[in-house]
Amino acid sequence: MPRYVNLIDALNAAPGERPFITYWRNEEEQETVTFGQFRARARQQADTMRAKGVNRGDRVVIIMPQGISAMTVFVGAMVLGAAPAFLAYPNDKVEPSKYRQGIAGVTANLKAKLVVVDEQFPEDMLGHVSLSDGCAIRRACEENDAGLVGAVIDASYPADCVAFIQHSAGTTGLQKGVALTHAAVLRQLEYLTQTLDVDNNDKIYSWLPLYHDMGLIACFMMPMVYHVPVVMQSPLDWVMQPETMLQVVSEHRCTLAWLPNFTFQFVSRKTRPSRRARYDLSSVRAFINCSEPVRASSMQEFQEAFQACGVKAGAFKSSYAMAENVFAVTQSGVRSESGPSRIWADGSRFRNSHQIVPVANGTPDAVCFTSSGRLLPNHEIRIMSESNAILADGMVGEIFIKSECLFEGYYNRPDLTAQAFVDGWYRTGDLGFSLGGELYVVGRLKDLIIVGGENLYPQDIEDVVASHPAIHDGRVIALGVDNPDLGTQEIVIIAEVENEELLEKSQEIEREIRSAVAGGLGVSAGMIFLKPPKWIVKSTAGKPARSATLEKLQKEHRELRIES
């Protein structure tokens, strides 16, 4: 059982002088707060919010740049028993119109008592924040907020109160608010820290945004509850200079880092070989690959790039996580000397019958899967068929989960909640299989392409297409679109060429791609659209956005009547 009544109780139990958060901007500008200092600043924020009428059960929306101030506002709201929610701060990666639409939708659903923004938050954006009756806006000022000590506030509310609301991934504006109780969060953290053997010697590194479960739970709540120091940098600073991740880990001797799969390739490719020798990554006992499909090749690339910096093969771990379960569902073994398990399966059986038949590495048409690890304690999964039958090990189906950490519903959205649960099991919308007690995640159910009864995973097609030398790696989308004449789906491929001059050779490239797809996967590609650089629409995370790209394609090629 969790040792604390609620999350604030856990913070109050932390040794006051122990360092909590170090906010790293560069080697000369770093701010560290101890648990005692953080507690005092959070209480001061609570005082200020109470003066604005915030009480137990209210919602507080926080739209501030990532930093210690935003975190003290978040915890300050929890001190009062209110439920805070971090929303993404506007940035140049998101179209302003989309951001405005998103912020309006999310804030309308939350019906917040208080919206806290920073001094620089654009006035025109503020006009799109939906304010319910009695809702106030506060511009937090870092200079005024720092250094003040708030009164001790009785935070003895029960663990079944909502602690905070985190938003599940989804199109901005349609993001679903996941309300999580203190009890659910404490249980998740207990299981996670047990599984990872977290102790006082650990130090966490993070560049992750706090509005995402991986940043919020693993890199903020877990350190707060288990009194572990964390070194953070802003996501924007990291993306502009990805190599700084290596610098921070080296300087601070961090031991744990949660990273989405793309980070492993991104950091390897954006750090010049000549500069690698200056870093020492030997302190890291776990780089946890999470929140995207886990690819062994990405971790291998990172290991090869930084082997000389002390990166151990056993340091690579994987996890399957989601906001609806607070965070992790599975985690690969932290004591293992090697990376996550891998399995090679017969490609044809996988595509035709959703079945995993292990074959030797190197077998023609073999498909490689990387494990996301074993279930956390008190977690269960079922792999379900389309007709809701429970599937055996080695069969691919939709992943359903049940756990002590599961959310109770989407905030103010009973309609979505009803769709999400079947007999108390949460439908994840992800496809995967169990084998040898481990979970392998294959992809998203909605992205599955079914051609003449054969199941195809877009990533497999995209990998084949991206291997063509004229196609830009990572800029390919494969989609299944209905073909009414054939009564089934056909594969549509959208791919960016390396440079515009290559478009003159479209016919030849198309022919080669068709041949590669047919040869590699045994299926025929339907329409292939070769596009100039930067044509494919990207998500806020910088990845090809399927639905938005299809929408663009439909607008540009109305004559083709492409329908999803």
Partner 1 sequence: MTAEEQKMVDIILRLIRKTNVTIDENTLLVSSGLVDSMALGDLLLELEDLTNMRIPAGKVRPKDLDTVAMMFATAARVGKPQK
CA 391 to chain centre: 27
The three-class DSSP label of residue 447 is helix
Q: Is 93 exposed, middle or buried (0-12, 13-18, 19+ CB in 10 A)?
A: middle
Q: Which residues contact 387 (CB under 8 A, 6 or more apart)?
A: none
Per-residue contact track with partner 1, 169 to 188, x per CB under 8 A? --------------------
Per-residue contact track with partner 1, 54 to 93, x per CB under 8 A? -------------------------------------xxx
> Residue 100 CB, nearest distance to partner 1 (Å)?
18
Nearer to partner 1, 270 or 505 (CB): 270
Which residue in 145, 237, 292, 463 binds partner 1 (CB under 8 A)?
237
| Pair type for strands 342-346 and 366-370 | antiparallel
- Among all chains, which residue has been given the structure tokens 């059982």? 1
> Residue 291 CB, nearest distance to partner 1 (Å)?
17
Nearer to partner 1, 188 or 263 (CB): 263
Token code pair at residue 539: 């998500």
The three-class DSSP label of residue 33 is strand
| Pair type for strands 256-259 and 204-206 | parallel
Give residues 284-313 in contact with partner 1 (rule: CB under 8 A): none
CB atoms closer than 10 angstroms to residue 41? 24
Q: Which stretch binds partner 1 (CB under 8 A): 136-144, 317-325, 456-464, 492-500?
A: 492-500
Task: Evaluate whether 17 touches 121 at the Cβ level (below 8 Å).
Answer: no
Nearer to partner 1, 374 or 472 (CB): 472
Size of the site for partner 1 (CB under 8 A): 33
SS3 labels along 348-373: HHHHHHCECCECCCCCCCEEEEEECC
Helix locations, 96-180, DSSP H: 96-110, 123-126, 142-145
Residue 132 pairs in a beta bridge with none
Give residues 508-547 in contact with partner 1 (rule: CB under 8 A): 532-534, 538, 542
Which residue in 133, 154, 415, 501 binds partner 1 (CB under 8 A)?
501
Which residue in 34, 171, 247, 539 binds partner 1 (CB under 8 A)?
247
> Residue 535 CB, nearest distance to partner 1 (Å)?
11
Q: Which residues contact 396 (CB under 8 A, 6 or more apart)?
A: 350, 354, 355, 356, 383, 431, 432, 433, 442, 455
Determine if 26 is a binding residue for partner 1 (CB under 8 A): yes
> Residue 217 CB, nearest distance to partner 1 (Å)?
25
Nearer to partner 1, 3 or 505 (CB): 505
Determine if 124 is a binding residue for partner 1 (CB under 8 A): no
Q: What is the largest CA-CA distance in the chain?
A: 72
> Residue 501 CB, nearest distance to partner 1 (Å)?
6
H or E element at residue 512: helix 506-521
Nearer to partner 1, 44 or 244 (CB): 244
Task: Evaluate whether 495 touches 531 at the Cβ level (below 8 Å).
Answer: yes
Q: Which stretch binds partner 1 (CB under 8 A): 20-28, 343-351, 361-369, 421-429?
A: 20-28
Report d(CA 266, CA 174) in Å as an integer: 28
With CA atoms as reference, report the closest residue to 492 among 444, 535, 544, 528.
528
Task: Evaluate whether 50 touches 76 at the Cβ level (below 8 Å).
Answer: no
Report d(CA 234, CA 64) in Å as an integer: 12
Which residue in 18, 25, 139, 446 binds partner 1 (CB under 8 A)?
25
Task: Evaluate whether 483 touches 562 at the Cβ level (below 8 Å).
Answer: no
Which residue in 43, 182, 472, 546 binds partner 1 (CB under 8 A)?
472
Which residue in 13, 18, 27, 170 binds partner 1 (CB under 8 A)?
27
Token code pair at residue 260: 């989405």
Q: Which stretch binds partner 1 (CB under 8 A): 62-70, 239-247, 305-313, 367-375?
A: 239-247
Q: Which stretch binds partner 1 (CB under 8 A): 25-33, 39-47, 342-350, 413-421?
A: 25-33
Nearer to partner 1, 178 or 232 (CB): 232
Report d(CA 325, CA 38) in Å as an integer: 27
Determine if 270 is a binding residue for partner 1 (CB under 8 A): yes
Determine if 28 is a binding residue for partner 1 (CB under 8 A): yes
Q: Which stretch binds partner 1 (CB under 8 A): 22-30, 41-49, 154-162, 214-222?
A: 22-30
| Pair type for strands 162-167 and 421-422 | unpaired
Q: Which stretch binds partner 1 (CB under 8 A): 24-32, 69-77, 82-90, 441-449?
A: 24-32
Per-residue contact track with partner 1, 197 to 236, x per CB under 8 A? ------------------------------------xx-x
Q: Which stretch binds partner 1 (CB under 8 A): 210-218, 243-251, 383-391, 433-441?
A: 243-251
Which residue in 17, 29, 154, 337 binds partner 1 (CB under 8 A)?
29
Nearer to partner 1, 29 or 415 (CB): 29
Which residue in 500, 551, 556, 563 binds partner 1 (CB under 8 A)?
500
Beta strands in 120-187 (DSSP E): 136-140, 162-167, 177-181
Determine if 98 is a binding residue for partner 1 (CB under 8 A): no
> Residue 238 CB, nearest distance to partner 1 (Å)?
8
Residue 84 pairs in a beta bridge with 60
Is the backbone of residue 326 left (phi > 0), alpha (psi -120 to 50) or beta? left
Nearer to partner 1, 47 or 243 (CB): 243
Which residue in 272, 335, 558, 561 binds partner 1 (CB under 8 A)?
272
Q: What is the dihedral of CA 242, 285, 182, 4, to 10 degrees?
A: -140
Residues that bind partner 1 (CB under 8 A): 24-29, 91-93, 233-234, 236-237, 239-244, 247, 266, 270, 272, 472, 498-501, 532-534, 538, 542
